[in-house]
Structure 1
Amino acid sequence: MKKYTIFLIFIIALTLSSCKKDFLNIIPQGKQVASTTEDYRKLLNNKRFYVYDYSGGWQGQVLMGDDVAAEGGLYNSATPVTQKAFSWVDDIFQSGEIDWTQQLWLENLYTLNKIINEAPESVGGTEQQKAVVIAEAQATRAWLYFQFVNFFGKSYQKASAETDLAFPIITTADVTIRSYSRATVQQVYDFIETDFKQAITVLPITSESAVHFNRAAAKGLLGKVYLFTGRYTEALQMFNESFSDNSSSAVPARLYDYNKEFATGGKFDPVTTSGPSNSPGINYLDFTESLVAKSFYNSSYNGNGYGNDCIVLSSKTRMLFDPADLRLKFYAAQFPYQQQNPSGRLSKIGVSYSKFGLQISELYLLRAECKARLNDLNGAITDLQILRDSRLPSSVANIPSAVAASQSSMLSFIFDEREREFAAEGYRWFDMRREASDPLFPAKTYIHTVYNEDGVQASYTLKSERLTMRLPYYLIVSNPEMPNNP
């Protein structure tokens, strides 16, 4: 990891020396420069580049959502970056601290650009094989930039998207380029849309596994892009086509029925002190619910990067669950490593890996939201009910009649359902950004609470500016003319 960290400091700083450029022109002993179509396909499979295993890339977003609180004893001994992310400081990574999550993602971007630019000239593959490799790289790059624009750009507002600054658009695999400028939010979203649309024309209905993009995944994520940018009619079309393409796949993503799997003899039975047995959060290769699987390590760990040992459900989020909700079986009143938490506050257990590419559960929630925004409230209820029937006993699964009373109450319920489905997995921070800029939602104050062992609580209130992250330190240092976010 150390050598990749050092290498990626240069990628972020974009200040490699000329001798480094010479180094890139030499084939290292025992290594092979990509030349065949198969070589480029293998780059997409290479875990070394973290294209599919993001190894903590979303842990910062887990810490920044208001669905979590912190236990003081563990929080006070957590890493500085953990404490800074949780307390929503302006600069989580400062001089001398390595923004290792963004470095991993920039390494991914370098690899994806290399594939997109060089695979057309590769040898040993048919034109169709080349096209599929390129299309998968384009879809992955689009997904990556969707994260970047939601980290470093303001939540999409049509009136200001053409002037709000986001992240530089980088399309070359050239670490010697020394200067970049920030693209606008609109430019980044246009870039994402183009990549997804080009990829969709080529991607297969059935991919070789769920870690690879197929057509349904790309359409579903393009629909998410349209939803985030207020293009609801286009979003609904993409979501409908995504469901249709998924159904046509040889291995379609499907919802687990928790009523069945938590029952005696079910796949998640028994539920031990370590959590549900053999659940997707434990079994890294369980892609049952994944249209495309992007994963990060989300178990209790407080090592060199972000750590979440201190995290518990916030009281606000805990109150959203019906006591019979089977999703609560993924939580327990215990500290990491199965030590009982006398406060009764719940930690997420049995989830070593969280998936955040596109899950079938989110596709239902995204389409429900889209229908609600188009005032098809009955259609929204239909999608919500399918998800809830798989997560709660039938006696409590039905959606309250008051939810359908108005568009705003329906949207609030959908966002609450997203919180129940994905609590402590990083999704909430993205929803907070959208809530805060949406006139259909009441104004909210986002608070983080630290529960100290002496009973004294500390709290942090999120400033509106920090719904947009500041750019990494090394990028600003190497591009002093580039303005940072306030």
Structure 2
Amino acid sequence: MKIYKYVIATTFALFSLILGSCKKSYLEVIPKGNIVAVTYDDYNKLMNGSNFYMLGGGNVGIYTPAAIMGDEVSAEAYAYNIPYSAYPGARAMFQWEADVFTLVDQPNDRNSSRAQFMSFLLGNLYTINKIINEAASSTGGTEQQKVQLKAEAMAQRAFTNFQLVNYFTRPYNASTAGSDPGFPIIKTADITVATFDRGTVQGNYDFMISDLTEAIANLPVQSAVQTRISKGAAEAMLGKIYLFMGKYNEALTMLNKAFTDMAAMKTPPTLYDYNVTMASGGSFLPIDPYYGPNSPFTNASDTKESLWAVFTYAGTYGGNQFPTDFLTIPSKTIGLFSANDWRLKFYSNLRSDQKTEIPGGRLQRTNLKFIRIGVELPDLILLRAEAEARTGNLSGAVADVTTLRTHRIPAAEAAVPASVTTDNVALVKFIIEERIREFAVEGHHWFDMRRLSTDPIFSGQPAAQHFLYTDATQATTYTLTPNRLTLRLPPSYVVQNPGMVNNP
């Protein structure tokens, strides 16, 4: 049994939907265990698959585990202890337990024992590798079209590996990355491969950098649609990877290139101004009592702020592999917001019944149906601001973070505090707090927690904690240990791949 076994059914079902729109000759001969593509158009249709821009489909949230594990969230006992089949995994993640994917009823337990989000990403790698390895020899299409298609697939592969690495390997540390176990690098679309070598974390990052570096040279400045990657988006992705490695000069170089190429686009992404959209008659109004403001987080087709639009499901329990119904933000997170920050309108002080007040002043995110995990302008702005602050360009960093804040907060409260504008360490910490304000409960902070765990600026801080509240103040406390910054591989994958060492 191979690492791909659990994704084959999903992959075939996915391809049957995609292939339904292709010409009959495409479907005439399909050898067992293979997906056959012949023409450039066939491969291009694969790249257009919704599996690449709606990761996990309608119920598998790729960032749901990260949302549950971030230390900016708390939990409410009334919703935490619901005895549904998906809740044990969600609770295990919130408690930062060692074994999240446990085999309860082997071999019949197909929910807790395997990470559906991992299977989905592996299924995407299968398709990506087919395009990379086969599109050049396809019939039809120009050589330039085939080169560009391969470049898009290589960028997709780097993006997919970035998700896997940031769940299942240790945070990047230059002094140990050469020996820390990585995630298997998969370069072929071959379901018969029997063994997988974990390699090293350094090998993973080198591979992602190589893929993106080669891809950038062959990507267009303006993609055909925002769900297909552009040159600027790939540059931004590479800049983000460098930032996660602590290579801040290289990160800033790539992020600046991304902004340059974005400015050359015919239709670049632009920020929503919440001072307008939340004002009387604004497009985010009225505020629905259950779903909150009519924002991009409730509408997957809204790509105004997207340089590269990639979404994942984040809705409350309704098939989602790990439900998030019980999550709230506690006082320490609420305290990061200024009094009139429009982003607080995305939260409610009521439980989901819209009648019962959450005790202790905690708030629940109401408008989060989709998380945007591709290359989004707010993330890009804050990544560059951080890189600027870390490399000494404090004025540039202040200007960038102010650009975002003036679109999210009334002008009277939007200025960066003077006390941090001349201190690069204080400014970096302020930018990280701005990232929490912008992305709370979306999972992004978990990945920030991982990378900052090896950052000297953030050393010596108390261990992160989660609080499970039973009333206004009484709570059970869970404390994060360094090993739990990395998920252990699902046992089903380890068992079926003899010799594969699991994470501690």
TM-score w.r.t. structure 1 length?
0.92
SS of 2:214's partner is helix
1:222 aligned to which of 213, 238, 242: 238
Equivalent residue for 1:76?
81
Shift of 1:435: 2.1
SS at match of 1:116: helix
Q: Provide the rounded CA distance (Å) in 2 between the counterparts of 1:357 and 1:339.
A: 36
| TM-score, with length taken from structure 2 | 0.89
Q: Does residue 1:370 correspond to 2:396, yes or no?
A: no
| Map of 1:64 onto structure 2 | 69
Alignment of 1:192-271 (within 5 A): 192-271=208-287
1:274 matched to 2:290? The reply is yes
Deviations for 1:95-143, whole angstroms, at most 9, x for unmatched residues? 2323111111110111111111111111111111111211111111101
Tell me which moved more, 233-242 or 214-223.
233-242
Q: Equivalent residues in 2 for 1:107-256 (5 A)?
A: 107-256=123-272
Amino acid at match of 1:103: S
Q: 1: distance between equivalents of 2:5 and 2:407?
A: 42
Q: 2:412 aligns with which of 388, 395, 398?
A: 395
Q: Mean Cα displacement is larger for which, 443-452 or 328-337?
A: 328-337
CA shift in 2, pair 1:32/1:476, >3 Å: closer
Deviation at 1:69, TM superposition (A): 0.8
**1:451 matches 2:469:** yes
Partners of 1:467 and 1:103 in 2: CA distance: 20
- In structure 2, how many angstroms separate the alpha carbons of the residues matched to 1:5 and 1:424? 32
> 1:85: Cα distance to partner?
0.9
Counterpart for residue 85 of structure 1: 93
1:482 aligns with 2:500: yes
SS at match of 2:38: coil
Deviation at 1:247, TM superposition (A): 1.3
Aligned partner of 2:44 among 38, 41, 46: 41
Identify which range, 329-338 or 170-179, moves more after superposition: 329-338
Q: Match of 1:474, SS?
A: helix
Q: 1:302, CA displacement in angstroms?
A: 4.9
User: For residue 435 of structure 1, what is the amino acid of its counterpart?
Assistant: L
Letter matched to residue 417 of structure 1: E
| Aligned position for 1:106 | 122
Give the corresponding residue for 1:21. Answer: none
AA paired with 2:102?
A: Q
Which residue of structure 1 aligns with residue 364 of structure 2?
A: 347
| Mapped contact 2:463–2:480 kept (Cα < 8 A) | yes
Give, in whole Å, the separation in 1 of the partners of 2:473 and 2:54: 42
Deviation at 1:26, TM superposition (A): 6.0
Q: Distance in 2 between matches of 1:10 and 1:27?
A: 17
Matches of 2:275 and 2:66, distance apart in 1? 30
Q: Distance in 1 between matches of 2:7 and 2:250?
A: 41
Q: Is the 8 A contact 1:436 1:444 kept in 2?
A: no
How has the CA–CA distance of structure 1 residues 339 and 135 changed in structure 2, closer, same or farther, with 3 Å as cutoff? farther
CA deviation vs aligned residue, 1:6-26 (integer Å, no higher than 9, x gap): 445999xxxxxxxxxxxx996
Amino acid at match of 1:227: L
Contact 1:93–1:472 (Cα < 8 Å) also in 2: yes
Contact 2:10 2:123 in 1 (8 A): no
> AA paired with 1:203?
L
1:351 is displaced (CA, Å) by: 2.1
The CA deviation at 1:52 is 3.5
* Contact 2:293–2:345 (Cα < 8 Å) also in 1: no
Q: Is the 8 A contact 2:390 2:424 kept in 1?
A: yes
Partner of 1:15 in structure 2? none
Contact 2:170 2:180 (C-alpha < 8 Å) held by counterparts: yes
Give, as a single letter, the amino acid of the residue that structure 2 aligns with 1:94. T
2:209 is paired with a residue of what secondary structure?
A: helix
After TM superposition, list the pairs within 5 Å mapping 1:311-326 onto structure 2: 311-326=327-342
Structure-2 change in CA distance of 1:319 and 1:454 (3 Å): closer
Distance in 2 (CA, whole Å) between partners of 1:251 and 1:172 is 35
The answer to whether the 8 Å contact 2:53/2:311 transfers is no
Any idea what the Cα deviations from partners look like across 1:125-182, whole Å, max 9, x if unmatched? Answer: 1111111211111111101111122112222111111111110100000011010111
Deviation larger for 153-162 or 379-388: 153-162
Output aligned runs, 1:399-410, within 5 Å. 399-410=416-427
CA contact (8 A) 2:286 2:294 kept: no
- Give the Cα–Cα distance (whole angstroms) in 1 for the partners of residues 238 and 76 of structure 2: 38
Q: Distance in 2 between matches of 1:147 and 1:7?
A: 17
The answer to whether the 8 Å contact 1:289/1:359 transfers is yes
Percent identical residues:
42
User: Are residue 54 (structure 1) and residue 56 (structure 2) matched?
Assistant: yes
Give the match for residue 102 of structure 2.
94
* Deviation digits for residues 389-433 of structure 1 (CA, Å, limit 9, x no counterpart): 111000100111111242221111011000000000000111111
Q: Residues 80 and 196 from structure 1, CA distance in 2 versus in 1: closer, same or farther, beyond 3 angstroms?
A: same
2-side partners of 1:285 and 1:132: how far apart?
A: 25
Moved more, 228-237 or 419-428: 228-237
User: In the alignment, is the contact (CA less than 8 A) between 2:159 and 2:237 conserved in 1?
Assistant: yes
Taking a change above 3 Å as real, the CA distance of residues 304 and 380 of structure 1, as seen in their structure-2 partners, is closer
Residue 268 and residue 170 in structure 1: after superposition, are their counterparts in 2 closer, same or farther (change >3 A)?
A: same
- What is the DSSP-based 3-state SS (H/G/I as helix, E as strand, rest coil) of the residue aligned with 2:371? strand
Q: Do residues 433 (structure 1) and 450 (structure 2) align?
A: yes
Q: Alpha-carbon deviation of 1:211?
A: 1.1
Contact 2:274–2:408 at 8 Å: present in 1 too?
A: yes
Q: Is the 8 A contact 1:8 1:104 kept in 2?
A: no
Answer yes or no: is the 8 Å Cα contact 2:52–2:310 preserved in 1: no
Matched-pair contact (CA < 8 Å) for 2:287–2:294: no
RMSD in angstroms over aligned alpha carbons?
2.2
